[in-house]
């Protein structure tokens, strides 16, 4: 169904950073991830009677909420994560944004939230770039991370889906997600906590899944690891995903193995990596994978690499899994790591350094 064109109202931020202030943030070696934000944000209202309405670009700043707003009590919210990349000629592009828009719709459906039309999602990215395009950094491997999100704003304590919802879009200039950059990760295997179960909301990008992961992520830090890996909730045997990334194993005989489960997020980076793998002649196995298969595969020499992948982290090798009572150490790579060569190829596409042969890029500033 065709959606109506939105009539955007743009209210410039009178306290926007100066070019000098912005440049200092963008060129800081401490840029990191998710610490600074652009001058504006998008806000679109939804109500049961009026549908999507009043689309605005306005100053970035606090959101006023009634203390009874449903999201604060029942966590009815969903979000997304994608990036804008600056190409060498200065133009600004995003990567597979339609897939993010579609995933946000699937997440919204699971959380009984209204589905934002794909065109509105894409339009919101363009509208924000039209005012904040100067925030897309230029240094190597930096980007502007978009965080679209939507939540139940209605003030009502009865437990039902809300009749008033808002969609927002904020953006944050980003460098490396991990402080070690692309240094291999140590991963903590949580055997105490699970993230999501069959029929739950693990496949939705919703805050509750991240809330469920935090105590396990704390355990990971306490054990000297950067990320936590969850197992399936039913049997505690099968690999699911990391707190904020998908997982891929690489075999000696050119297979990429990744867990299949209805309780993990369908990663867009993962899907892209699998496509690049296929293009290179790898066979792709998306199936149940047990932690024992990983351990035994490393012992036998069959599994030669493992990596994490997601929008924020891109692709980062894993060199160790730690559990309470065992450890898996990945072998030293022979030659270039597959993870890093896939990362190079993926970022070459994202930054326009090679041809976009799968049609994954979309221009935002024209």
Pick the stretch among 68-76, 192-200, 285-293, 310-318 that binds ligand COI (CB under 6 A).
Answer: 310-318
223-to-7, 19, 62, 190, 280 alpha-carbon distances in Å: 52, 42, 36, 11, 36
* Contacting residue, 187, 196, 204, 312, with ligand COI by CB under 6 A: 312
**Nearest CB to ligand PLP, comparing residues 131 and 270:** 270
**Nearest CB to ligand PLP, comparing residues 69 and 315:** 315
Cα radius of gyration (the chain): 21
How far apart are CB 120 and ligand PLP at their closest, in Å?
Answer: 20
How far apart are CB 334 and ligand PLP at their closest, in Å?
Answer: 28
Site membership for ligand PLP, residue 273 (CB under 6 A): no
**Nearest CB to ligand PLP, comparing residues 273 and 304:** 273
Distance CA(261)–CA(75), nearest Å, equals 23
Distance CA(86)–CA(141), nearest Å, equals 10
- In the stretch 215-244, what mask flags binding to ligand PLP with x, by CB under 6 A? --------------------------x--x
**Nearest CB to ligand PLP, comparing residues 154 and 241:** 241
How far apart are CB 269 and ligand PLP at their closest, in Å?
Answer: 3
How many helical (H) and strand (E) elements, i.e. helices and strands, does the chain have? 8, 18
Would strands 314-322 and 185-189 be described as parallel, antiparallel, or unpaired? parallel
How far apart are CB 116 and ligand COI at their closest, in Å?
Answer: 17
Site membership for ligand COI, residue 311 (CB under 6 A): yes
What sign has the CA pseudo-torsion 237, 240, 244, 249? positive
* Contacting residue, 111, 212, 239, 268, with ligand PLP by CB under 6 A: 268
Q: Output the six-digit token pair for 214.
A: 């935090």
Which of ligand PLP, ligand COI, none is residue 128 near (CB under 5 to 8 Å by kind)?
A: none
Q: Which residue has the tokens 């670009």?
A: 57
* Contacting residue, 311, 328, 342, 346, with ligand PLP by CB under 6 A: 311
Contact 95, 350 (CB under 8 A): yes
How far apart are CB 122 and ligand PLP at their closest, in Å?
Answer: 16
3-state secondary structure 112-145: CCCCCCHHHHHHHHHHHHHHHHHHCCCCCCCEEE
Distance CA(267)–CA(207), nearest Å, equals 16
For residue 229, count other CB atoms closer than 10 A to its CB: 27
Positions in 243-262 near ligand COI (CB under 6 A): 244
Positions in 96-125 near ligand COI (CB under 6 A): none
Which of ligand COI, ligand PLP, none is residue 259 near (CB under 5 to 8 Å by kind)?
A: none
Within 8 A by CB and 6+ apart from 350, the residues are 83, 85, 93, 95, 143, 361
- How many of the chain's residues bind ligand COI (CB under 6 A)? 5
**Nearest CB to ligand COI, comparing residues 309 and 321:** 309
Q: DSSP secondary-structure letter at 294?
A: H
- Which residues form the interface with ligand COI (CB under 6 A)? 81, 244, 310-312
Q: Which stretches of the chain bind ligand PLP, using CB under 6 A?
A: 81, 241, 244-246, 265, 267-270, 310-311
């Amino acid at each position: 169904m065709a959606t109506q064109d939105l009539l955007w109202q743009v209210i410039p931020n009178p306290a926007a950073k100066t070019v000098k202030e912005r440049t200092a943030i963008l060129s800081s070696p401490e840029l990191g991830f998710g610490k600074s934000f652009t001058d504006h944000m998008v806000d679109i209202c939804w109500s049961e009677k009026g549908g999507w309405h009043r689309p605005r670009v306005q100053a970035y700043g606090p959101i006023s909420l009634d203390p009874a707003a449903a999201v604060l009590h029942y966590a009815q919210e969903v979000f997304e994560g994608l990036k804008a990349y600056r190409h060498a000629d200065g133009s600004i592009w995003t990567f597979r944004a339609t897939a993010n828009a579609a995933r946000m719709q699937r997440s919204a459906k699971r959380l009984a939230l209204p589905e934002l039309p794909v065109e509105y999602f894409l339009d919101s990215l363009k509208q924000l770039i039209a005012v904040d395009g100067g925030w897309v950094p230029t240094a190597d491997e930096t980007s502007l991370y978009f965080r679209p999100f939507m939540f139940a704003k209605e003030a009502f304590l009865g437990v039902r889906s809300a009749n008033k919802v808002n969609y927002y879009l904020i953006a944050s200039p980003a460098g490396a997600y991990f402080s070690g950059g692309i240094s291999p990760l140590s991963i903590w295997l949580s055997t105490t906590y699970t993230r999501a179960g069959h029929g739950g909301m693990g496949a939705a990008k919703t805050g509750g899944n991240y809330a469920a992961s935090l105590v396990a992520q704390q355990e990971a830090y306490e054990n000297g690891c950067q990320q936590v890996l969850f197992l399936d909730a039913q049997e505690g045997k099968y690999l699911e995903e990391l707190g904020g990334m998908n997982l891929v194993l690489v075999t000696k005989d050119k297979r990429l193995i990744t867990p299949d489960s209805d309780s993990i997020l369908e990663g867009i980076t993962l899907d892209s990596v699998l496509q690049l793998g296929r293009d290179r002649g790898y066979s792709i196995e998306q199936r149940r994978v047990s932690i024992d298969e990983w351990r035994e595969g490393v012992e036998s020499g069959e599994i030669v690499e493992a990596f994490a992948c997601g929008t924020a982290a891109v692709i980062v090798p894993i060199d160790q899994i730690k559990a309470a009572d065992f450890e898996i150490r990945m072998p030293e790579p022979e030659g270039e790591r597959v993870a890093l060569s896939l990362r190079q190829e993926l970022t070459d596409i994202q930054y326009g350094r090679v041809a976009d042969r799968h049609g994954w890029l979309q221009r935002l500033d024209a």
